[in-house]
Amino acid sequence: GRETLEKLKEEHERLLRTAADLDNYKKRAAREREEVQRFGIEKLVKDLLPVVDNLDRALAAAAEDDPLAAGVRLVRASLEQALAKHGVVGFSALGEKFDPAVHEALMQVPTGEAAPGTVVLEHARGFKLNDRLVRPAMVGVAVEPPPAP
């Protein structure tokens, strides 16, 4: 009888381990599925960001009263609404303190008009996908101007 009890106990423990493994697998699969749902479009988003940048640049270069600019503004707004529907949000860094976690410094700008370390130029806005950084804002950061000779 004792051998049978030992075997039953071993079998029971094996079944418990198997059940725990299956449970862990199910949890991992659910987590991965959720990740794919939240971040699966990241590649597409990265491919679309230059399009948004180009619309931003076109608007920055256009005269205020340019009738074409109004149309470009509408296109940009509808593209951003479509992106927002999927969790993509743009953010501006202008006037903020430089933050290497969300800003990428492309250049230093010697100026006395802003505190050193302040973002004074923005080459391109930053973007997040469901709160995950997809691209940092590309910026110019204020530094102390050289002393006057």
Is there a contact between 75 and 55 (Cβ–Cβ < 8 Å)?
yes
Q: Tell me, what's the pLDDT at 128?
A: 96
How far apart are the C-alpha atoms of 59 and 50, rounded to whole Å?
A: 14
Q: Tell me, what's the pLDDT at 1?
A: 85
Q: Tell me, what's the pLDDT at 65?
A: 86
* Range 90-111 burial, b when 16+ CB lie within 10 A, else e: beebeebebeeebbebeeebeb
Banded model confidence at residue 40, pLDDT cuts 50, 70, 90: confident
Enter the pTM of the model: 0.73
Q: Tell me, what's the pLDDT at 49?
A: 95
How many Cβ atoms sit within 10 Å of the Cβ of residue 86? 13
The pair of structure tokens assigned to 19 is 């059940």
Is there a contact between 139 and 121 (Cβ–Cβ < 8 Å)?
yes
H helix intervals, the chain: 2-39, 42-61, 67-85
How many Cβ atoms sit within 10 Å of the Cβ of residue 133? 13
Q: Tell me, what's the pLDDT at 76?
A: 94
Mean pLDDT of the chain: 92
Q: Tell me, what's the pLDDT at 113?
A: 92
How far apart are the C-alpha atoms of 69 and 62, rounded to whole Å?
A: 6
Banded model confidence at residue 146, pLDDT cuts 50, 70, 90: confident
Beta partners for residue 127, in sequence order? 90, 135
Q: Tell me, what's the pLDDT at 36?
A: 77
